[in-house]
Each structure stands twice: as C-alpha cells, then as structure tokens.
C-alpha cells in the first residue's frame, strides 16, 4: 500500500512549524501533563491492548501485561520522576583558558523525531521511544509495523484521542510509507529492527545529516558454566527464550553448556519447559509466530539443520503459526541455524570444555545485543565479561536488564558500579530520553 505523500508531508510540516514555539513553551509542567495524559489513556486501554496483542501475536494476557503495558507505564513514571533533574542546566568548572568566566550545559530538544517500530513488541518498542522523545521536549511521528495491524490501529486511535497532531502523530503503512518518511529531514530517527534494514535507515538519514538511534538484533549467546545453579538457569532460560515465542531481540539465541553439566541441565530444562508450556505446540501459555512467512522461515531453519546432521532433543511440533519449544544439538557452522538470528522458539545447544574457545567464538561474530552467563565462579564470570563485548550482560538471569530504568540500553560495557533492585547493576545512571552506553545485572 502506497499512501499519497500529502498526509505524510502535512504531518511533518505541521510539527516542524512548531519547533521554535515548542522550545519556548513546552517546559517541565507541560511535558509532565502530556506524560500524565498518555499514562491515563494507556490505563484506560489495557483490555484493548491485551486483545490487540492476542489478535496479532496470539500472546497470552500475562505476557502482554508484563512486556508491553507495564513496561511503557514504567517508562512514563520514570521519565516524569526524573524530568526536573534532566532539564536542569549543569554548571561546569572553568579551564585555565577560560578562567574568570562561567559556563553551563543546557539540554535542548532535537525538534521533530521519527520512530519506526518493530512487530515483536509492537506497543512497548513503539511507545517507549515516543515517551522518551516527548519527555525530552520533541514532537514525534510514529510509524508502527504493518505486521501487527490490530496493535498499530490501537496506537493510532489512542494517540489521536490523547495528543495534538503537532506533538505526536501515528502514520500507518508498509515499507513504502517508511521510505517516504525516511526521505524527510527529521531531526532524529529512532529505529528498531534488523541490521539489514538499519543500514538502509542510516543511509537515508545521512542524506539529511539526521542523527539516528538504531536498536538492532543479533545472536545473543548464553553460557552455562560448570558452577551454575542448573535449576535456576533452566528457569531463567525458559523465561528468556520462549517469552513471546522467542520473538524478542535480546532473547537467548544459542546456548553453550559445559559438558560436565550438560545432561543434568538438559533434564532440568526439558522439565521446566514442560511445566511452563506442556507438550503441545498450541499451548495457551505460548505466543504465536507473527506471520505465516516467519513460521515458514523458522521451519526451514530447523529443516536445514536436521538435514546437515543436527539432532532435536525436544520438539513439541508446530501447527501453522503455533510452534512449540525446540531444543537441538549437534550444531555446525555451515547450518543456517548457526549463522542467522533465530528469533523464534528454537534453541541450539552447544557443549563445550574450553571456555577460551567459547569466548573466541563469541568475539568472532558481530557484537551481541545481550550476553547471559550462568555460573557461581566469580573468576570465570569476570573473565567472560572482561574478554567479550556486548550491548548488555545478564548474570544468572535473562531479559530483565532491559526493564531496569536506570541502566542504558546498547553500546559497550562501562566500568561503573552501583546498587539497585536487589542486584548489582554495573552502569552509569542514564537519562531515559537520551540513553547511551550499556550495563549489566548481576543477581546475588
């Protein structure tokens, strides 16, 4: 579907014309009021959100509440609480060359932002960046994914009823609409999606010297060491891998397990999966693959691996877009399963004896968005963290580093430390509306 350019250009022109006025009038009170209105609208549409995500992704209610609804409300609450401090000018000490003068740093809005959202968390990964942009004083045009039409329509209706179009507008459509939007001179673009499309977004932004935030996927590894609490590891890996049917950008992609604990761990993992999801692909507690084409892709990945010698050790089968958890062994580098981001409920198991070889294998690939370590040996944990680079590290847990409001997301690991939420969180405190850097959680 190719929309005529006039509505897109009209929405952009309306927001662009208000940039100067917004910088003068969109202060702390006004931003808080907008966040409050948005939070109230989201609460009023809780049931509609659950229904939309069930229609688009076959997702159970508890998952939608956890990873969509509560996530965005937390973003709003966090932004509102810290907004005064974020907006406050920061004085800086003079240098020798500027002795006798005074200086300060004052944050200003970028202007008009474009958010291009993905389909896997169609509400949280759309509204989260919108909240950040609004908190920072910007106007926003949101382009949701066309693969989740029910959630996209809900957001369009919610935003239109809550916020003025010169501040926030939702424009629905397919790839052609995204291309029309990318041709416009936005002040900032926030894109969540695949590395291949991320390159297209960055190239389009470069033509207008537009700054970008790219949140891209990757093959996030898990290491289960010989000192791991195997029951705990099975619990967290089941949660992290099969939430939203594995369609989460920071979900475990493949699993390195020390040979001394592999058999015992696989027994614990199979038992935990059976307890959570049963033995049928159509479990009501397991989400569905977003489309027939994505389901076919996952089936092809598995068939390619089996044809080249892989062995499924757990396979609950599939039924259309319903695909049960799959555990598969004997993975080799020539298999597509080892080369491509899986983004589904298939988990390759790779036994290891030499931790150095695992580290070398991780470093030979593109930097992962997340790395998960299960072990109780501090020296081994420190070695892995010190010799690898990733967007975030979870130690004896999965996924929840994304929901830590004081940890940045993406980038490379810093060396600061602090305490938070019962875990040791290693990262500088970061402004939600202007995140940079990364961090990792260590559970006690």
Q: What is the rounded CA–CA span in Å between residue 418 and residue 125?
A: 27
Contact 98, 154 (CB under 8 A): no
Q: Among candidates 195, 267, 233, which has minimal Cα distance to 394? A: 233
Q: Among candidates 324, 291, 251, which has minimal Cα distance to 55? A: 291
Contact 17, 168 (CB under 8 A): no
3-state secondary structure of 217: coil
Is 249 designated active site? yes
**Phi, psi angles (nearest 5°) of residue 232:** -65, -45
DSSP 65: I
Q: What is the rounded CA–CA span in Å between residue 362 and residue 371?
A: 9
Q: What is the rounded CA–CA span in Å between residue 52 and residue 68?
A: 11
3-state secondary structure of 190: strand
For tokens 């691996």, what's the residue? 305
Q: What is the rounded CA–CA span in Å between residue 229 and residue 374?
A: 7
Q: Among candidates 316, 311, 323, 301, which has minimal Cα distance to 246? A: 323
> Which residues lie across from 192 on neighbouring strands?
215
| Angle made by CA atoms 89, 94, 99, in degrees to the nearest 5 | 135
292, with CB counted inside 10 A (0-12, 13-18, 19+), is exposed
DSSP 369: S
Check 249, 329, 341, 423 and give the catalytic one. Answer: 249
- The enclosing H or E element of 15 equals helix 5-17
Check 63, 215, 329, 341 and give the catalytic one. Answer: 215
Active site residues: 215, 249
């Amino acid at each position: 579907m190719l929309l005529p350019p006039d509505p897109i250009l009209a929405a952009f022109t309306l927001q662009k014309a208000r940039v100067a006025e917004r910088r003068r009038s969109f202060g702390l009170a006004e931003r808080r009021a907008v966040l409050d209105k948005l939070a109230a609208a989201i609460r009023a549409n809780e049931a509609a959100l659950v229904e939309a995500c069930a229609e688009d992704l076959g997702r159970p209610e508890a998952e939608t509440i956890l990873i969509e609804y509560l996530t965005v409300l937390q973003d709003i609450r966090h932004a509102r609480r810290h907004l005064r401090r974020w907006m406050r000018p920061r004085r800086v000490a003079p240098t020798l060359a500027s002795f006798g003068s005074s200086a300060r740093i004052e944050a200003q809005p970028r202007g008009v932002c474009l958010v291009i959202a993905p389909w896997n968390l169609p509400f949280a990964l759309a509204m989260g960046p919108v909240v950040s942009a609004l908190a920072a004083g910007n106007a926003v045009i949101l382009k949701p994914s066309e693969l989740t039409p029910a959630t996209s329509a809900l957001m369009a209706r919610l935003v239109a009823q809550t916020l003025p179009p010169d501040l926030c507008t939702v424009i629905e459509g397919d790839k052609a609409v995204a291309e029309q939007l990318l041709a416009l001179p936005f002040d900032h673009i926030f894109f969540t999606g695949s590395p291949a499309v991320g390159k297209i977004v960055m190239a389009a932004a470069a033509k207008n010297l537009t700054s970008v935030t790219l949140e891209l996927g990757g093959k996030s590894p898990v290491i289960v060491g010989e000192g791991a609490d195997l029951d705990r590891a099975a619990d967290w890996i089941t949660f992290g891998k099969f939430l939203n049917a594995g369609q989460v950008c920071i979900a475990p992609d493949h699993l390195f397990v020390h040979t001394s604990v592999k058999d015992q761990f696989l027994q614990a993992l199979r038992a935990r999966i059976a307890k959570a999801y049963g033995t049928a692909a159509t479990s009501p507690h397991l989400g569905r693959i977003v489309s027939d084409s994505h389901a076919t892709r996952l089936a092809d990945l598995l068939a390619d691996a089996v044809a080249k010698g892989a062995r499924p050790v757990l396979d609950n089968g599939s039924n259309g877009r319903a695909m049960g958890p799959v555990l598969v062994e004997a993975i080799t580098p020539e298999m597509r399963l080892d080369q491509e981001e899986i983004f589904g409920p298939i988990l390759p198991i790779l036994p290891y004896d030499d931790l150095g070889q695992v580290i070398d294998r991780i470093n030979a690939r593109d930097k992962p968005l997340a790395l998960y370590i299960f072990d109780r040996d501090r020296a081994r944990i420190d070695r892995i963290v010190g010799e690898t680079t990733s967007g975030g590290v979870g130690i004896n847990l999965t996924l929840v580093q994304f929901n830590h409001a004081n940890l940045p997301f993406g980038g490379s690991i810093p060396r600061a430390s602090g305490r938070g939420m019962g875990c040791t969180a290693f990262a500088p405190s970061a402004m939600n509306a202007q995140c940079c850097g990364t961090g990792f959680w260590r559970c006690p």
